Amino acid sequence: MAMESYIEEKRITATVMAVRWERIFLYLDVKVTFSSPQERDGKLYFYAVDAMYYSPASFQVMEVTDDVYRLKLNVTNGGENACVPSSEYRIFVCRDDCKMADCETDRTIVGQMADFSRTFLYASQNKAYTVTFYVEEDADTLPFRFCILAASRSGMVFPTKVHLHNKVHLIQDVKSTWGSRKNVLRTMYSFFYALSGANRERTVLFMSEQNTVIASNLKAVSDRMKERGLDKEYRILFSARSAAAEPQSMKSWIQLIRKMAQSSIIFLDDHAPILDWLKLSKDTKLIQLWHAGAGFKSSGYSRWGHMGCPNAVSCHRQYSFGIAGSKKIAPFFSEVWGINDEQVLPTGMPRMDEFLQADYREEKTRQLYQKYPMCKGKKVMLFAPTYRGRNKRDAHYPYELIDFAGLYEACGDEYVVLFKMHPWVHAKAPIEKRYQDKFLDVGKYPNINDLFYITDLLVTDYSSNIFEYSLMRKPMLFFAYDKVQYSFSRGFHRDYEESAPGKVCYTFAELLDAFRNKDFEYEKVEQYVEHHFDYTDSHASDRVIDWLVLDNLPEELQAELDQRKAENAHRKSLDFLPKGYRRDVEEVVKEDGL
């Protein structure tokens, strides 16, 4: 049944005053005018309604100032972990499931509607997701409308040479071969799933498609399950391959498919390309234990429209849950993965449990001073930036930007410097012999977190290593010489200057001045810790196990998940069909049959 409508009575009018974008987020400023004070009573909801008069997404009300509602919509996730689908849209303002207004367009922005439009390229720039704004024609007013279209690249010219035609066929043959293999593996998954039986309910798989060993958060949680004796109650499986970068044998694929089909819970440590095209069964819980605490770099759907971004349907969409350090930073991760905030649980990072244990810290500190005696009795600067380049193959760091002589002089008798580059950067820091009494390359040391114990000042840029180091409650400096270029190529999912827990320097001369003057802006460290950590204990692994394996999720977190589920169900139940219309099986028609 169609909803009640008071639009014609104009009890409320709504006018879009401004449109802006922030990455994948569409923001609208909507001025709401009430015909009488009584009409202010009750909460207003803003629904994006498609051409079939259903709502696949609603706008979030961020704030209200002087009857101007600031609305927000994530176009890559309208609330159900999927892009807002292709259609033409209007925005209905509702109260108590009654339509109160159809948003109109302020005359001052009508001429700018085309400028507000966006095109997001994905699938190696072979596909596009477009959002186009316009004003509905042949209307007395200026109805606000937008159109979303998911499109693929099409040919623009006729082929003229035979060898090009053959090349196309070759590419098609290769794609067809891999496509056939995918279909075989999908069939195998269904077959193994059907054979899995009751044991499946108590089988847990720890899986990496990025590394050949189980490490980091995966290792911490699996080890803790064994310490708690849960390996006697649960069958624990492991799969570690570098399938994201290297081809795998058919035997390897079948082994993985079988383990996935037999598991009711799968823990991941990163993106798994196989899950971009293999859909798991509905009763499989897929949990992302991503290694990064919280840096600045955009990834996943934060980079929607940039080279290397995920497809509209990807592995990320299948996550039942992910983890983070706090509820406050959950939106950073949900944006990356294209899932809802409520699905990102503030367990903390399991790999940090050992890092936060006093006895482990004491023993590692002793070992480090023994391994690097030049650090004993001195303060230590750890120079640990991220890499430059597009990937592991061309990763590098521009050492020529470092004023080694100036840094050596600034250290005086107080500091020594350890250079720990990103693991992908193979070139060691070029330390001349005359500086080797104060400078040392420690790139081969396996765990940067251990180095934090003896570090007094961290110098980095956009790396997520600030997450762990912040708990040492020691100062940091940020050498962001290429912030503009880095922001354009990689993107930031939050303001860099406001979020960096220390002073940001844009030249090495500025960095040296800040170092000499101890101008670290240390107060930002305490603010960072308060914002990023709900727990600073060594029990993150236990929370992952208790909440996600044993299904003992805290009541307040479960309530948030239930509320989201109820809101989605309610929105999907609403029928925005105009009065006087009825629904047939496949189309909307007037009741008189026209």
Residue 100, classed as helix, strand or coil, is strand
How many other C-beta atoms are found inside a 10 Å radius of the C-beta of residue 176? 11
User: Structure tokens of 441?
Assistant: 């390359």
Average pLDDT value for residue range 451-477: 94
Q: Report which of 379, 374, 377, 354 is spatially closest to residue 364, judged by C-alpha positions.
A: 354
- pLDDT, tens digit, 9 for 90 and up, residues 74-83: 999 999 999 9
Q: Residue 100 — pLDDT band, cuts 50, 70, 90?
A: very high
For residue 134, what pLDDT is reported? 95
Average pLDDT over residues 251-265: 97
The span from the CA of 563 to the CA of 577, in Å, is 26
Q: Backbone dihedral region of 473: left (phi > 0), alpha (psi from -120 to 50 degrees) or beta?
A: left
The 10s digit of each residue's pLDDT in 205-228 is 999 999 999 999 999 999 999 999
Q: CB of 104 within 8 A of CB of 141?
A: yes
Calculate the CA 466 to chain-centre distance. Answer: 18
CB atoms within 10 A of CB 494: 16
Residue 72, pLDDT above cutoff 80: yes
Q: Inform me whether the pLDDT recorded for 444 exceeds 80.
A: yes
Q: Any bridge partners for residue 415, and if so which?
A: 379
CB 387 within 8 A of CB 381: no
Percent of the chain with pLDDT over 90: 79
DSSP category for residue 311: P
User: Which structure tokens are listed for 413?
Assistant: 């008798």
What does the pLDDT average to over 485-491?
58
Report which of 81, 77, 45 is spatially closest to residue 61, judged by C-alpha positions: 45
- Give the CA count within 13 Å in the CB-facing half-sphere of 18: 9
pLDDT for res 2: 76
The yes-or-no verdict on residue 590 having pLDDT over 50 is no
User: Could you say which DSSP state residue 235 is in?
Assistant: E
Tell me: pLDDT of 591 over 50: no
Mean pLDDT of the chain: 91
pLDDT of residue 581: 80
Q: Are 204 and 236 in contact (CB under 8 A)?
A: yes
pLDDT by residue (tens digit) across 347-378?
999 999 999 999 999 999 999 999 999 999 99
Whether the predicted pLDDT of 292 surpasses 80: no
Q: What is the per-residue DSSP string for 262-303?
A: T-SEEEESS--GGGGT-PPPTT-EEEE--S----SB--GGGG
Q: How many residues does the chain have?
A: 594
Tell me: pLDDT of 342 over 80.
Answer: yes
Give the pLDDT band of residue 172 (cuts 50, 70, 90): low
209 and 243 Cβ atoms separated by less than 8 Å:
yes
Instruction: Please write the tens of the pLDDT for every residue from 490-535.
Output: 555 566 777 889 999 999 999 999 999 999 999 999 999 999 999 9
Assess contact for 462 and 296: CB atoms under 8 A. Answer: yes
Q: Which two tokens stand for residue 305?
A: 């429209």
Q: Rounded distance, CA 150 to CA 128, Å? A: 6
pLDDT tens-digit map of 25-57: 999 999 999 999 999 999 999 999 999 999 999
Among 6-10, 185-189, 271-275, 585-589, the minimum mean pLDDT is found in 585-589
- pLDDT for the residue numbered 166: 52
> Residue 535's pLDDT is what?
94
Q: 585 is written with which tokens?
A: 């099986």
Q: What is the pLDDT of residues 528-582, one digit of tens each?
A: 999 999 999 999 999 999 999 999 999 999 999 999 999 999 999 999 999 878 7
